[in-house]
C-alpha cells in the first residue's frame, strides 16, 4: 500500500511539497503521480521520469548498479531505523566513486540530528519522519560552520585548508 502520510521534505535546503509517492511495489503506483519503488521493481520497469528507485540499506553499490542509476530521476536510500548507517556509505559511494550528480534522497527513519552528516555524505534531499519539525531540520543543516574531515561538500580536511591559508598569509 502506498505511503499516504505527507512527510516534510527538504530539497536544496528548502522545504518543498513532495510529489513522489513511496510504494512497496510498482503495482501499487498511483495513477498520474510519480512514485518511488523498490530497486528490483524499478529495474524491471520502463524507467520513465515518473518512476525512481529506493534502495534498501543493504544494497551493494557496484559500478554496474551506479551506471544503471544514472537513468533515474532521483535515488532514494532507505533508513529502516535511525541506527542503521549503511545508507551514508551508499550516498558517499554514489557521489564520490561513481560521480552521481542527481538527487539522493534519505527516506525512512530520518531524524533532524542526522541531517548535517547526511548532507556531508552526499544527500541533498531529506524526507523527514512525520514527528520531526521541518523548521528545526532546516536549522540543523547548518549545525557546524566547519568540518574537520573531508566530505562530498568539502574535499580537503581542515588541517590542509589551514595550512594553505597560513602559506598565503606568510607569502603576503
Strand 9-11 and strand 51-55: the pairing is unpaired
Of 66, 71, 111, the residue nearest 91 (C-alpha): 66
Q: Please determine, for residue 45, whether its predicted confidence score (pLDDT) is greater than 80.
A: yes
Q: Please determine, for residue 3, whether its predicted confidence score (pLDDT) is greater than 80.
A: no
| pLDDT at residue 107, rounded to an integer | 96
CATH class of the 9-141 domain in this structure: alpha beta
Q: Please determine, for residue 4, whether its predicted confidence score (pLDDT) is greater than 70.
A: no
Q: Mean pLDDT over all residues of the chain?
A: 87
Per-residue pLDDT tens over the stretch 66-82: 999 999 999 999 999 98
Per-residue pLDDT tens over the stretch 18-43: 899 999 887 888 787 899 999 999 99
Per-residue pLDDT tens over the stretch 96-108: 999 999 999 999 9
End-to-end CA distance of the chain: 64
The full set of domain ranges for the chain reads 9-141
73 three-state secondary structure: coil
Alpha carbon distance 112, 134 (integer Å): 8
pTM for this prediction? 0.81
Residue partners of 46: CB distance under 8 A and separation at least 6: none
Amino acid at each position: 500500500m502506498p505511503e499516504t502520510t505527507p512527510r516534510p521534505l527538504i530539497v536544496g535546503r528548502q522545504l518543498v511539497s513532495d510529489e513522489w509517492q513511496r510504494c512497496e511495489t510498482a503495482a501499487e503506483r498511483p495513477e498520474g503521480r510519480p512514485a518511488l519503488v523498490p530497486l528490483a521493481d524499478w529495474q524491471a520497469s520502463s524507467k520513465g521520469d515518473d518512476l525512481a528507485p529506493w534502495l534498501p540499506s543493504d544494497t551493494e553499490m557496484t559500478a554496474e548498479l551506479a551506471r544503471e542509476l544514472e537513468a533515474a530521476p532521483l535515488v532514494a536510500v532507505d533508513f529502516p531505523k535511525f541506527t542503521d548507517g549503511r545508507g551514508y556509505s551508499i550516498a558517499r559511494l554514489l557521489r564520490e566513486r561513481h560521480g552521481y550528480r542527481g538527487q539522493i534522497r534519505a527516506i525512512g527513519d530520518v531524524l533532524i540530528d542526522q541531517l548535517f552528516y547526511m548532507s556531508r555524505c552526499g544527500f541533498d534531499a531529506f524526507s523527514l519522519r512525520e514527528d520531526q519539525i521541518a523548521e528545526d531540520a532546516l536549522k540543523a543543516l547548518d549545525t557546524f560552520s566547519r568540518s574537520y574531515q573531508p566530505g562530498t561538500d568539502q574535499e580537503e580536511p581542515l588541517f590542509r585548508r589551514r595550512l594553505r591559508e597560513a602559506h598565503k598569509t606568510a607569502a603576503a
